[in-house]
């Protein structure tokens, strides 16, 4: 795996695919700079070697049209502030103007080109567009894990125009290593904690990781499909009736592979989906009509704690309850606490997937786990065992 550490960028111009698809308020102020900060080590490495940088990214979904509100010019000053380097901007992504701006860069300088998705060829993976992008640099670096599962011109196709001079950025290399630690090289016992609402959205992940894990903790709304499939009473809890057979098949496969599956035994049930509803603790398989399970109960959390603290490698994907409501956040917070404690004792912990990442940030766990993935869809596809085009293009 070639990374930026395999190159010296002195007098080289690096064309770096970053993921600066950042949120902005109505005045175009960036409200979360995490993605920019995540790309900083790669950019600074090139500059400190004595090279220059051309940054390319998408922002939003302009669908091949020029949408002024989605211009990357709006984020240019924020990128400058985060990097501590003045970032120049050019209002096109390919063509004479972009090539001239890139050619005029001196060592130590940074150029940000316009939103790639203003050109329809970006998402189509057009060869011509990719070739034009390739004229902007001497070395191609992909540091955008968030788009590594897309076969777009800037994430995949452009790499072929740099047969010897392409590599992973520091962030993307970290993402690959973190997933590899869970899926291939992790110290045992390996535990996967899968939450979220639906079995259907996690089925391919579960099937792919059963060969890799020793323990599988199931939480969130998925719980009730498993419980109902086993003959339990789930009241008004979310349940995919058409996936009950699948749930039983997963349990059977896990047993055959020697994987211990841990499903909640008690839950916090509410008489409506509301933060101010009446609540009670009930056995997970005895939820009355008119009540729905919205968080893991205390006995369940004790079992989960015991499993997590004995684990050496931990994957967390998906919340344990409806953490967005304070009344049902305890289960998710406690899982975070257990993972933090296990990590402190030397376990490797990877958190990924939109809602679990949101929970980790909301409750202040991002510095207490080993790694928080920056790519939702890309991480999920990695866990499903799929080859990501953006990664394959570098290693080809």
CB 315 within 8 A of CB 295: no
Q: Is 59 annotated as a binding residue?
A: yes
β-bridge pairing 292-296 and 266-270: antiparallel
Alpha carbon 132 to its chain's center: 29
Q: Is 172 annotated as a binding residue?
A: no
Q: Is 202 annotated as a binding residue?
A: yes
Q: Is 20 annotated as a binding residue?
A: yes
Helix (H, G, I), strand (E, B) or coil at 289: coil
Q: Is 96 annotated as a binding residue?
A: no
| Helix segments in the chain, DSSP class H | 34-49, 76-83, 96-103, 120-124, 127-134, 170-180, 203-209, 222-229, 244-257, 298-309, 330-344, 354-362, 376-383, 389-395
DSSP label at 181? I
Distance separating alpha carbons of residues 341 and 326, to the nearest angstrom? 23
Q: Is 353 annotated as a binding residue?
A: yes
Q: Is 19 annotated as a binding residue?
A: yes
Quick check: is 137 catalytic? Answer: no
Q: Is 363 annotated as a binding residue?
A: no
Q: Is 152 annotated as a binding residue?
A: no
Q: Is 255 annotated as a binding residue?
A: no
Q: Which residue has the tokens 């205390």?
A: 298
Residue among 198, 286, 305, 368 flagged as catalytic: 198
Quick check: is 377 catalytic? Answer: yes
Quick check: is 352 catalytic? Answer: no
Q: Is 294 annotated as a binding residue?
A: no
DSSP label at 24? B
Distance separating alpha carbons of residues 73 and 90, to the nearest angstrom? 8
Q: Is 150 annotated as a binding residue?
A: yes
Residue among 17, 35, 40, 174 flagged as catalytic: 35
Q: Is 258 annotated as a binding residue?
A: no
Q: ω before 85 within 30° of 0 (cis)?
A: no
Residue among 354, 361, 368, 385 flagged as catalytic: 354
Quick check: is 354 catalytic? Answer: yes
Which residues belong to the annotated binding site for ATP?
202, 293, 324, 353-356
Which residues belong to the annotated binding site?
19-21, 35, 58-61, 117, 150, 202, 293, 324, 353-356
Which residues belong to the annotated binding site for substrate?
19-21, 35, 58-61, 117, 150
Which residues belong to the annotated binding site for (2R)-3-phosphoglycerate?
35, 117, 150
- Which residues are designated catalytic? 35, 198, 354, 377
């Amino acid at each position: 795996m070639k990374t930026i550490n395999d190159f010296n960028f002195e007098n080289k111009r690096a064309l770096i695919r970053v993921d600066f698809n950042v949120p902005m308020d109505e005045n175009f102020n960036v409200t979360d700079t995490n993605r920019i900060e995540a790309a900083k080590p790669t950019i600074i490495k090139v500059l400190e070697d004595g090279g220059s940088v051309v940054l390319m990214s998408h922002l939003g979904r302009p669908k091949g049209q020029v949408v002024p509100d989605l211009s990357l010019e709006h984020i240019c000053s924020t990128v400058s502030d985060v990097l501590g380097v003045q970032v120049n901007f050019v209002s096109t992504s390919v063509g004479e103007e972009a090539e001239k701006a890139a050619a005029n860069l001196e060592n130590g300088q940074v150029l940000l080109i316009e939103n790639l998705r203003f050109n329809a060829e970006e998402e189509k993976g057009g060869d011509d567009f990719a070739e034009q992008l390739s004229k902007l640099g001497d070395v191609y670096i992909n540091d955008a894990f968030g788009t590594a599962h897309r076969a777009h011109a800037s994430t995949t196709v452009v790499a072929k125009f740099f047969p010897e001079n392409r590599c992973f950025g520091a962030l993307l290399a970290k993402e690959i290593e973190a997933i590899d630690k869970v899926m291939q090289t992790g110290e045992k016992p390996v535990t996967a904690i899968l939450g979220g609402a639906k079995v259907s959205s996690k089925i391919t992940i579960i099937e792919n990781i059963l060969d890799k894990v020793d323990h599988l903790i199931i939480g969130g709304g998925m719980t009730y499909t498993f419980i109902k499939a086993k003959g339990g009473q789930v009241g008004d809890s979310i349940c995919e009736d058409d996936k009950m057979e699948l749930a039983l098949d997963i349990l059977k496969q896990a047993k055959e592979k020697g994987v211990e599956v841990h499903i909640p035994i008690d839950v916090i049930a509410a008489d409506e989906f509301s933060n101010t509803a009446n609540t009670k603790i009930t056995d997970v398989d005895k939820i009355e009509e008119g009540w729905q399970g919205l968080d893991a109960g205390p006995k369940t959390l004790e079992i989960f704690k015991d499993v997590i603290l004995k684990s050496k490698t931990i994957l967390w994907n998906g919340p344990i309850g409806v953490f967005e409501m304070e009344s049902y956040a305890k289960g998710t917070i406690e899982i975070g606490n257990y993972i933090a404690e296990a990590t402190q004792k030397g376990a490797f912990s990877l958190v990924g997937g939109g809602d679990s990442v949101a929970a980790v940030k909301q409750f202040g766990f991002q510095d207490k786990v080993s790694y928080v993935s920056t790519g939702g869809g890309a991480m999920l596809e990695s866990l499903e065992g799929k080859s990501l085009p953006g990664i394959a293009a570098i290693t080809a």
